[in-house]
Structure 1
């Protein structure tokens, strides 16, 4: 389904009676829509409890008896069903996200507890040494549970300790004796770990309670739908006087009464029983709730006007072709529904047309000659072009900005960036490949809160939608491939070899995968793969290497590495982290 938006039509260009009638229809439609959204789940529940058709009167018939036509009632039901289905999908996605967050927090709690046990073990070892000194016995050696992170040195006073930093960016901390090490480092570390565990457990408890509530609401069919928007509804609490209350009420009423949907039918003339679009005069005419014909002039679509005309004329062409011999058939689209949406924008109105595009016979879907692939990131697209044998031909980065921008501005920035990519693909006559991401779980790989927050806000579904629309515009196929281990393969196999960034190398792997090529572990690295996964799929080999080497900075892999010198991934990791 493709949605096309028209230019703004000034209300002063319409007949005053038509403009007033249109405003009344939009107000009545939105009011009835809220009632339909409330009644629809109850009607479905009632039908499940009383399956006999004569048990109670249907919701559709009740609305028709109120004076509405059959087509308006159908539009109300279809629009309400779409709103309810969207709320159900949002609830399911919220549950899935909360479950993933709960698993991650539980893993962090376990890691913190392991660190706390190490601190307790070190304190117990120091306490045993102190008791041995007081009793005059043999002082046992200090059991170091921290590995090379903490180093000890024998001095005249006992032991001195040196504590390194996690990433090696700060100078190490030195403690001259056991007392200072225990009270200045171990005790402080234990307090911080206990505090972190307490906060994480509290957060996990609240998350589980909210998850239980969401699952209960999902089982009972409880949905939270706010017509007008939750953001504007919360602004009601900031109102301080009657003037602000009046302004807020006017904005609230305008936000809740501004859209009207006229659902199309496949078997109708022009694809819609209520509305008719004149492709010559560009006038949209629809039958109001009161039964009068309302004309909206100068409805033009800056993008996709030809598609709208073809969809509207499809039924007329099909009827003519029934009376013509096979050799005189008129080319045209297959008849389908054409849905119209009218939006009140204050001094103007805007019309949206929703149609289904037929399959493009001229689309380029041949990946044997190479493709143009891009990798999605929170501030840029990394692009790589491949040749017929999977070789790299070109690579570059298309940046864009999301920070400090509205949703529409972000959409426009993404669209402009994709436009550059698809223009390049059209110039070389190659299809496009991208990663297929259902949910942005890959944000966990960035390692800093700011990047994680931005990638979580990144609209992957919006990028996919815009990429598909660009593919239709330039007659290029867009293939979505599984992005599993693309960054890992690019980092270990192609990044240094071809002089790419980690994201450009990931885009290169995506392009090769779209062509049907396999990227197996190189021979000089294959001995690092654990024996238990050697006979499995080559993705399992990359998974094992990723697990062993994921904490190594990307910059370490830009230098030349002789993998034959290391027998295990642990030895390689140790050498790279020096």
Structure 2
């Protein structure tokens, strides 16, 4: 099985009323067949029997039935694979909710917030019980048309519906708003049911095989002038890969068969009309980076991306901070902002010839954090999509030929704050990116100080003594103790109001001299105490 990624490109179709109604009918038949197939599969009817009956009942071709079946099996498999993660996620939510309730009972007994937390805890426990029951029984719950739209019928006025008939119209339209056309590498143009050809003007001409159950005068519909603003070259490359080759069987017989690249299509209807999504397998790209040149580390945060570049010995070369102002942005706007930042990072990797090192993050733990953080941070975390911030650098790196190294994220923030922040005059997030880059190169992560000076958000710092390291254990066991000890000074600093105070100003003599130490990196909010060496002012003659 190929390990190359599959990229999907989209464009909007320009249709006349007859073509639009034809696609509407195709989508309605496709949706009805898929819902019926799901009900029959749950009843335990054998798949071969279902295929024969569905070909006659809906007038489908064998390839169209396979597309419906594979799409349905994909939905079922995604639910089954996701359910264990949802169970663990619900357990984490419940644990955080119980901790929050315990704190509220001490600080705000009898408050409305405590009541709401208790209600939420009861809802989470009910949800967990339902998930565990479905997991044990193997039941799959699939709502065609989305559960969100289905529940809107119980509050029509709040959701902008004048009557139940208006909601039902939207519900039926949503359940029949798309259809999938499966491709294969051994078919002409990578697809038997929808074949694309290049027109003289450079656009694509799609020839879609319709279902016999539609009862139309023609079995095919032709869509002219299809152009993709982005991805046209990749689609043309996939179409040109189809060719006839001669292969030898196990018995020594020579046979002719077609090889190429599979091209799958998905037609989707929205409020503006119909769009087509084309999925093609990416072609391999030669690497332009080498680990001997160094590495570029990436630390993902909800409001910015911290980037640190090292040379081959692991020394810091430069850092960057790419802001992500995603609060209040739509999904497409957030995707564009993250994509632009990722392209800048990949461009830096390409110019320097260094691979990109990213963390292998657990997204379930990130979601559970929302239960126990303050409302401002919770809104910030909700606006940020960690999944996009992980997938987009990988996709951009693959296209540019940049190697991506994934590392364990354990203790990178602590290592960056303790080992690198004060030493290089950088912030904790830049220090974490530096630690990620060094881990990708396999360099040492031993503690370099005995007394840690860790910067805080307002430009100050907290100080604590590192615990004694047991050299018979892995170095991460030492960092686990450091992380536990780091929580106390941060908590004390926050309780004292230090996070809300401005940083300590420089002395008048220091401002008059303007003495600063040359640093390899000069980020925002650098620790001002590092601008000059201790005792340098006492050695001056005045």
Question: Is TM more than 0.5 here?
Answer: yes
Flag as ranges the 4+ runs of structure 1 deviating above 6 A.
109-113, 193-202, 554-557
SS of the counterpart of 1:441? Answer: helix
1: CA distance between counterparts of 2:24 and 2:119? 51
- Cα deviation, residue 282, structure 1: 0.9
More helix by share: 1
Structure 2 unmatched ranges of 5 or more: 213-217, 249-257, 453-464, 494-498, 504-525, 531-542
Checking the alignment, whether the CA contact within 8 Å between 2:287 and 2:403 is kept in structure 1 is yes
Show the counterpart of 2:34: 33
> Which of 220, 223, 243 is residue 137 of structure 2 equivalent to?
220
| Structure 1: unaligned runs, 5 residues or longer | 48-55, 117-188, 324-332, 562-578
Report the counterpart of residue 551 of structure 1 in structure 2: 488
Find the aligned partners of 1:64 and 1:199 in 2 and give their Cα distance: 53
1:453: Cα distance to partner? 4.4
| Post-superposition CA distance 1:175-208 (Å, at most 9, x none) | xxxxxxxxxxxxxx6x739999988677545533
Whose Rg is larger? 1
Change (3 A) 1:346 1:542: closer
From the superposition, tell whether residues 437 and 334 of structure 1 become closer, same or farther in structure 2 (CA, over 3 Å).
farther
| Structure 2 counterpart of 1:251 | 170
Question: Does structure 1 residue 87 correspond to structure 2 residue 79?
Answer: yes
Q: Does 1:351 align with 2:276?
A: yes
Q: Find the counterpart in structure 2 of residue 265 from structure 1.
A: 184
Query: What SS does structure 1 have at the residue aligned with 2:26?
Result: helix
Task: Give 2:51's match in structure 1, choosing from 55, 60, 73.
Answer: 60
Stretch deviating more after TM superposition (259-268 or 244-253): 244-253
Deviations, residues 371-401 of structure 1 (Å, cap 9, x unaligned): 2222111111111111121111111211122
Cα distance 1:351–1:197, how it changes in 2: closer, same or farther (>3 A)?
Answer: closer
The Cα of 1:355 is off from its aligned counterpart by: 1.9
Contact 2:360 2:408 in 1 (8 A): yes
**Alignment correspondent of 2:209:** 287
- Which 10-residue stretch deviates more, 374-383 or 244-253? 244-253
SS across alignment from 2:309: strand
TM-score by length of 1: 0.71
**Paired residue total:** 460
TM-superposition CA deviations, 1:399-438 (whole Å, max 9, x none): 1222212222221221122122222222323221211113
Deviations 1:509-535 (A, max 9, x none): 11111122121112535984346x442
Q: 2:88 aligns with which of 90, 96, 107?
A: 96
Counterpart check, 1:477 vs 2:403: yes
CA RMSD of aligned residues (A): 3.4
Is residue 467 of structure 2 the alignment partner of residue 529 of structure 1?
yes
- 2:374 is aligned, of 436, 448, 470, to 448
Corresponding residue number in structure 2 for 1:2: 6
When normalised by structure 2's length, the TM-score is 0.76
Aligned pair partner of 1:373 in 297, 314, 338: 297
In the other structure, the counterpart of 1:542 is 479
Match of 2:509 in 1: none
Q: Helix, strand or coil: the match of 1:404? A: coil
* Partner SS, residue 320 of structure 2: strand
Shift of 1:242: 8.2
Does residue 313 of structure 1 match 2:240? yes
Deviation at 1:313, TM superposition (A): 2.4
